[in-house]
Amino acid sequence: MSACLLVDIGGETFGISISSVKEVIELESITKVPMCSGKDGNGIVSGVINVRGSVVPVIDAGKRLGLKHEEVYDKYSCIVLYESYDEASNMTVTVGILVNRVKAIESLTKEALTDAPYFGVHIPVQFVSTMARIKEQVFIILDMPALLNLSSINQEILSNQKQLFNQILR
């Protein structure tokens, strides 16, 4: 990894490898998608956006990571457009990742990287690629293929839909 995008998600700094980042865009109006945004709109799928005529799904990074954070998105919030491989369709798709803000792009040396610990990490370990130290700050480099695993996200959406239907039928 040669460089990463430092982002703020729920008040914490995380790194995203820039190798598959297409671009960063301002937070704009997100269209909710019925049955995908979870009960009361609290699912990990925030909705979809229109990017130059293409419909792009938007994933709330904080919710996907299981962070307990307030949904405070403001004029500094961004959507990181990321190319992700979908095994089910055998295609590369563009997915938007909602973050509170983009902080910087940093070059990483091998010396700055260290293995991720097996304990003491407050997000699911499958989302941790490695740890990095830059300017005396240590942060997690996210495993983006795991974070944006579309099969896993689809399973969560289906689970939310089943819960919603069960509530309706009661």
Domain ranges of the chain: 3-169
Read off the pLDDT band of 14 (50, 70, 90).
very high
Mean pLDDT of 14-18: 93
Q: What is the pLDDT of residue 34?
A: 76
Q: Decide if 96 contacts 56 (C-beta within 8 A).
A: yes
The rounded distance, in Å, linking the Cα atoms of 116 and 97 is 22
The rounded distance, in Å, linking the Cα atoms of 5 and 131 is 14
Mean pLDDT of 13-25: 91
Beta-carbon contacts of 71 under 8 Å, excluding residues fewer than 6 positions away, are 60, 62
Quote the pTM value.
0.83
* Max avg pLDDT among 1-5, 120-124, 136-140, 158-162: 136-140
Residues in the chain: 170
CATH number for the domain running over 3-169? 2.40.50.180
